[in-house]
Amino acid sequence: MDAVISDAGIGDAEVEVLLPAPPLTLPSMSGAVAEPEQTLELGLPFRTELPMPDDGCVRVVFAAGAPVEASLGASQVHSATGALGPRGPVCERSGHALILSFAGRANVRYQVFRTR
C-alpha cells in the first residue's frame, strides 16, 4: 500500500514514517520522482537552489527535532513537520531555480519530489 502525505498537514504521530520508503503518494504530484533524503544539523540558516532543468513542479516533505522556519519559493511554514507546497506543488520554468531554506536550531530530514 502506498504511503500518503495529505494536504492537511502531518501530525506528530506520523513523524517516524514521514519519509517512508517508496512508493509515496503526494497530492497533485502523480508521477513525481523522489530525490535522496537529506539530513541537516541546523545552527545557521540553510539555503540551497533547486535548479529546474525542465519546466516542472516541486514539493518538499520535512521533519525536524523542533519547529523550524522552512520555505520553498513563496511557500513558508513554521513547524517541526510538514510539506512545502502544502496546497499543491511549487512550479518553475526551465532554466530557473527554486530556493529551499530552513532556519532554526534542530536536525532536519527532508526529501524533494519533482515532476517533469
Question: Tens digits of per-residue pLDDT, 58-103?
Answer: 989 899 989 999 999 888 999 998 888 877 788 999 999 999 999 9
**Count of structural domains within the chain:** 1
* 67: amino acid identity, one letter: P
State the pTM of this model: 0.72
More confident residue, 43 or 100: 100
User: CB–CB of 103/47 below 8 Å?
Assistant: no
User: CB–CB of 95/17 below 8 Å?
Assistant: no
Q: Which three cell numbers stand for residue 9?
A: 498537514
Distance between CA 32 and CA 4 in Å, rounded?
13
CATH of the domain at 43: 2.60.120
Report for 6-15, 21-30, 61-70: range of highest mean pLDDT: 61-70
* 10: amino acid identity, one letter: I
Q: What are phi and psi of 13, to 5 degrees?
A: -65, -20
Query: Which residue range(s) make up the domain with 84?
Result: 3-115
